Structure 1
Amino acid sequence: MRRSVALVATTLLAGRGVQALPVTPTENRYPVPSYCAFTESKFLPFNNAGNENWKDAPTLSITVNGRPLVATMDTGSTGIVIDAKYGFNNTYLEKNCEIGHVFYTSSHWLQEGYWCTTDVDVGGVLTSALALIRTREVCCPTFKEGDRCQNPEKACVCKGTCTTTVEQGILERNILEKDDGNGARIEARQTPTVGKAYMGIGFARGNPPSHNLFMNVKSIDGVPAGSKFRTGYVITSSGVWLGITKANTAGFSAVKLNLREGNADGRDWGEPPCYVQVNGGDWTNGTFLADTGIPNAYVKGDIPNKEGNEIAIRIPDPTSPFGEVQFVSVPKSKAGTVGTENPMQPTWVGIRTVPGVNTGRRFYNGYDLYFDGDGGYFGLRKKSN
């Protein structure tokens, strides 16, 4: 989910000088770099490991201010939102932190609170990021920067659960039509409740690396992260590896990423490339996102994305891809009823306004994914089953 933020903060940890790594000799056109020098990593099992075909978003156990929470791990956004009731004193926030907000442009939820550097323990991995400590959340389809949404809508409007009326139907259609394709969560978004947080660990999602817990690891099981730690992660069906190594990237193919314009600290990487084909037509280039936060997908092709369209995606190019997926277009009204024999079939498919695709989390039924946050590499590994 791409997010609009009120603050672009100075990076927490200065970008380390990253030496270019040699490429492992291979016939693979897209080999991974040689990570032999890096051995520090830790595997964090998902609380819901083995969930049925990635039906649900993955969750991890975290600790904030000594309080155990469950965090949804979302690759479609960057940054963690934590409710102020979990050990944050209002007086401290007002004195030491900066007022800010996060607005989810696709689901239209406005989160208000304070930007505050916060330590978070993720299964024994101590990390630190500029977190939004939330003091208020409202549904605001008409949000504009500088407007605190003095006349918010009922929560059911953004959840899409209000009693259907002509006006409500129009509003819901407008929300769908204006979706930017970067992680809409109209029906799937999880509002943090007691004991929960929302943790975005994606890249190229709007916020700089200073907001990403997985980009700011301080120690593993009490041992400070050193020269043998390579910032990044590997996502599998059962959990996530923090720290890139030769062992946990074995079997992957990878593509080098470009830095985003105006990057914050030399580690603000853009999205990987992909090509999309609709109904056997021409291949259209764009960007790729495998969003753990949603079960549906968003695609932009050369023709309208109508029901029954056959969609093919190849990463990073159409002639020598190391990742590919095919599925059919399904309207939201028929979510979960078409193409169910395909494990990578999204529940429904919407139109993306920017070129490329957001496959949703069902893509992980076919591939593991890795991201080298220090060097800017993105890779996929096809599952054997």
Structure 2
Amino acid sequence: MHRVATFFTATLLAGRAAQALPMTSSTENPYPVPPYCAFTQSKFLPFRNSGNVNWTSPPSLNITVNGRPLIATMDTGSTGIVIDAKYGFNTTYLEKNCEIGHVFYTSSHWLQEGYWCITEVDVGGVVTSAKALIRTREVCCPDFADGDRCQEPAKSCVCQGTCTSTADQGILRRRVLEEDGDVSRIEARQTASVGKAYMGIGFARGNPPAYNLFMNVTSIDGVPTVSSKFRTGYVITSTGVWLGITKSNTAGFSAIKLNLREGHADNRDWGEPPCDVQINNGSWTRGTFLADTGIPNAYVKGDVPNKEGNQITIRIPDPSTPFGDVKFVSVPKSKAGTVGTDNPMQPTWVGTRTVPGVNTGRKFYNGYDLYFDGDGGYFGLREKSK
């Protein structure tokens, strides 16, 4: 009998020895990047939609699973890849060798059910091996709870009238995401052409590093990674993502050291970076920061209720000496995309977060590149040239 699990503590590759890097002092930058001179293994992976310079849609990458080419949406707002079992997975093998599990997307209310299984994925020549949810069933489940698996699908997650099948693509279903209004959170399903997968590469998003493909790279272009030359982590730019932290690809960044998550699964399970939020001219509220590539809108919680027209300011990591400074206007969902269009970092609309801080959505990447050192726990930003 299999044990049901949303995630479990695993330490895949977590035992690798990560070099402790001291921060170098600087009179010009109070948040210097650690010296990454020894690390030379890295690769740049261009986004399939690299012409998307304004981050109007989520980034996607070409991947290969079981010899089959797929398109994977790259989401920093979740951790773990979801792959349909039809892409070369044997159900009997999954039942005997893998662990029953699920992923529930709170914004879209879609429940993905299947098996957690160590899976090798090739991302443009970068081979990774991590826990993946091999999906055997999905269901719309707005009232999801572990005791209520929603055996009968609800209708609120399915497009009505605008999603039809075509002869060349087969059955095509797209989901209305009821809170973030974006079809990208779970990609369109199609029975022909290139298949789709959803790849969460964020940190501090619930699942531990063993579920993060970008935290478990085993080789680059056929050359095995070694801890003395490969620094686990990534740099996100407007045209693609670097896998493997180096001195070169972190040039121009400012960085802070992260704390391990409370109850961390292993010594690479880092928590969210800090930020401060100010609404209008109110007091600064300390919280956490997330730049979610999966959504075009934002979620904010400060010292006063979120209302239309509020002027919102976010400073990272603190108000006094920030290396990230974001400003936008609170817009209700009913007016999505109609306010603040001259501001490249303006979200399409702004909702209320449940915890203090901000999820800026992907428009943030119009103003900043982002890097994450998964071995050492450093988080950094680099302002784009204006």
**TM superposition score normalised by structure 1:** 0.91
Tell me how far 1:196 sits from its aligned partner: 0.5
Q: 1:331 to 1:83 in 2, by over 3 A?
A: same
Per the alignment, residue 218 of structure 2 pairs with 218
Per the alignment, residue 168 of structure 1 pairs with none
Q: Deviations over 1:36-83 (max 9, x none)?
A: 111110000000002141000000000000000000000000000000
Per the alignment, residue 290 of structure 1 pairs with 291
Tell me how far 1:13 sits from its aligned partner: 1.6
Give the gaps of 5 or more residues in structure 2.
163-175
Q: Give, as a single letter, the amino acid of the residue that structure 1 aligns with 2:221.
A: D
CA distance in 1, matches of 2:223, 2:138: 37
Does residue 67 of the first structure (1) align with residue 63 of the second (2)? no
Give the gaps of 5 or more residues in structure 1.
164-171, 177-183
Structure 2 counterparts to residues 201-240 of structure 1, below 5 A: 201-226=201-226, 227-240=228-241
Q: Deviations over 1:223-255 (max 9, x none)?
A: 000120000000000000000000000000001
Please, which moves more after superposition, 192-201 or 108-117? Answer: 192-201
Does residue 339 of the first structure (1) align with residue 335 of the second (2)? no
Q: Deviations over 1:152-204 (max 9, x none)?
A: 202xx1257589xxxxxxxx99x75xxxxxxx566542235241100000000
Matched positions, count: 364
Tell me how far 1:32 sits from its aligned partner: 0.7
CA distance in 2, matches of 1:160, 1:318: 43
CA distance in 1, matches of 2:59, 2:187: 15
**TM superposition score normalised by structure 2:** 0.91
Tell me how far 1:306 sits from its aligned partner: 0.8
Q: In 2, are the aligned partners of 1:158 and 1:186 still within 8 Å (CA)?
A: no
Q: Give, as a single letter, the amino acid of the residue that structure 2 aligns with 1:215.
A: M
Q: Give, as a single letter, the amino acid of the residue that structure 2 aligns with 1:189.
A: R
Per the alignment, residue 16 of structure 1 pairs with 16
Q: In 1, are the aligned partners of 2:58 and 2:184 still within 8 Å (CA)?
A: no
Per the alignment, residue 157 of structure 2 pairs with 158
- Secondary structure (helix, strand or coil) at the match of 1:210 reads helix
- Secondary structure (helix, strand or coil) at the match of 1:198 reads strand
Tell me how far 1:265 sits from its aligned partner: 1.6
Structure 2 counterparts to residues 1-385 of structure 1, below 5 A: 6-27=6-27, 28-154=29-155, 157-158=156-157, 176=179, 184=180, 187-191=183-187, 193-194=189-190, 195-226=195-226, 227-385=228-386
Q: 1:331 to 1:160 in 2, by over 3 A?
A: farther
Q: Deviations over 1:128-171 (max 9, x none)?
A: 110000011111011111332123202xx1257589xxxxxxxx
CA distance in 2, matches of 1:24, 1:39: 19
Q: In 1, are the aligned partners of 2:139 and 2:153 still within 8 Å (CA)?
A: yes
- More helix by proportion, 1 or 2? 1
Q: In 2, are the aligned partners of 1:234 and 1:240 still within 8 Å (CA)?
A: yes
State, as a whole percentage, how many aligned pairs show the same letter.
78
Q: Deviations over 1:297-356 (max 9, x none)?
A: 000011111111000000000000000110000000111000000000000000001110
Please, which moves more after superposition, 8-17 or 359-368? Answer: 8-17
Runs of 4+ in 1 over 6 A off after TM superposition: none
Please give the root-mean-square deviation of Cα atoms over the aligned residues, in Å.
1.9
Q: 1:159 to 1:303 in 2, by over 3 A?
A: farther
- Secondary structure (helix, strand or coil) at the match of 2:325 reads strand
